[in-house]
Structure 1
Amino acid sequence: MRIHPRQRVRWQSERQRVGVGDAPLSVADYLRLCREDDDYELIDGVLVQRMAAQLPHEWLFQWMLRLVGGYVEARGLGIVLGSRTPVQINPYRVRLPDLLFVRTERLEVLTPQAITEPPDWVMEIRSAGERASDWVRLESDYRMLGVPEIWMVDLPRQRMRALQRSGDDYTVLERTEGRLESMAIDGFAVHVEHLLTETRPPVHTLLRELLEATP
């Protein structure tokens, strides 16, 4: 089994036996090896441990999960999942988006172990210390998969990229402020400033405003 050389990981013996020498791990291997509390992605057949989340990341994640999750649930639009849901990019590549949304009409793409087709919306949060090259590859993976809408919140650079698919290409919006409307989540919108600052309005206030503004 190949483990990314930057990581020092102790594996229990029964999990070591599942390894296949120097051959790349497949998605099936990944799903068999990794448990719910493991925080690994599969990158070109190699298990790579994600860096521990920093507090600004976790504060935004929790705030956004409650906001978008509450909105989607109240309107019956589908389901929002976060941080531990494997998304297959290709047979040797798996990502764990910070947040993802799947429309009600497409819930069949959810399997007990992973999502094998594009979610309708994903959001990733970059923390200080994450390499810019890894951030670029992450966006590239979601583009390759064909995710209709991708939100990339770059906390160190205090900006975000919203990518909305149109045909075979993406429209890219780079924002540091202003209201951003989702293409994939009907009626949902946020102010970019709320994503980039640690001082955010209460979720219940914004949720009420969003629901009152939609039929």
Structure 2
Amino acid sequence: MALHVETRKLTVAEFHRMEFDDNDTHLYELLDGELVKKKAPTPKHQLILSELYDQIKAFVKQQQIGYVLFAPVDVFLDDYNSPQPDLVFVDKTKADLITNDGIVGVPTLVVEVISPSSVYRDRVTKKALYERFGVPEYWLVDPADEYVEIFTLVDGQYQLLSAASLEEGQLTSNVLTGLTLDLKSLFA
């Protein structure tokens, strides 16, 4: 007979009351009530994120369609989920989601830059989480393969909308219509 031990889920409120050592260089997020410890991103990760932010921010500002934020920023999806995506876009119709504490509700677009230690979490766990909460578009940026995938929500499930690498493909976004990413600059 197998013994099943139920572990209690941590709430967002409990998570935000937690104290972490000042010398702790890890980042933490709450996924389905479980505290997830992440390593600080590598310089390559940050350079890619910075370039992606610059490109998307310029487009969003020129189009005057919303707001772009980058990690670390809390996204409060419910009482048990507070992920920290690498980049978040909130369209101007949802501007009230942006508060002093973080983004409270479902953003319009979420981007994760995959690190060697986050492949499963980004490709499976977070993808399923964002899908479940109805984030309209989810981007995965893979620095190792210099590849970007854009998933769009169709009838409650993510479908691959477009994908591109330095060698081939073209990216299309339903959320940021007309955006052209410079992948050479992104992965330089």
What range describes the TM-score normalised by the shorter chain of this pair?
A: 0.7 to 0.9
2:121 alignment partner, one of 114, 134, 142: 134
Match of 1:64 in 2: 52
Contact 1:88 1:115 in 2 (8 A): yes
TM-score under structure 1 length normalisation: 0.71
Residue identity in the other structure for 1:190: L
The answer on 1:32 being equivalent to 2:20 is no
Contact 2:55 2:181 in 1 (8 A): no
Match of 1:164 in 2: 152
- Tell me the C-alpha RMSD between the 2 structures: 2.4
Q: How does 1:1-215 map to 2 (within 5 A)?
A: 23-33=8-18, 39-127=27-115, 129-135=116-122, 136-172=124-160, 173-176=162-165, 177-192=168-183, 194-195=185-186, 197=187, 199=188
Residue identity in the other structure for 1:151: W
Task: State, as a whole percentage, how many aligned pairs show the same letter.
Answer: 26
Contact 1:31 1:113 in 2 (8 A): no
Residue identity in the other structure for 2:179: F
Q: Counterpart of 1:188 in 2: which secondary structure? A: coil
How far has the Cα of 1:85 moved from its partner? 1.5
How far has the Cα of 1:143 moved from its partner? 0.9
How far has the Cα of 1:95 moved from its partner? 0.7
Structure of larger gyration radius = 1
Following the alignment from structure 1 to structure 2, what is the Cα–Cα distance between the partners of residues 193 and 66? Answer: 14
Consecutive unaligned residues in structure 1, runs of 5 or more: 1-21, 200-215
How far has the Cα of 1:52 moved from its partner? 1.6
Residue identity in the other structure for 1:189: T
How far has the Cα of 1:105 moved from its partner? 1.1
Contact 1:34 1:40 in 2 (8 A): no
**Corresponding residue pairs, total:** 174
Following the alignment from structure 2 to structure 1, what is the Cα–Cα distance between the partners of residues 131 and 101? Answer: 22
How far has the Cα of 1:43 moved from its partner? 2.6
Q: Counterpart of 1:141 in 2: which secondary structure? A: helix
How far has the Cα of 1:194 moved from its partner? 4.7
Over residues 119-176 of structure 1, what are the superposed CA-to-partner deviations in whole Å (9 max), with x where a residue is unaligned?
111111012x314322221211111111111110122244332101223233213432
Residue identity in the other structure for 2:164: R
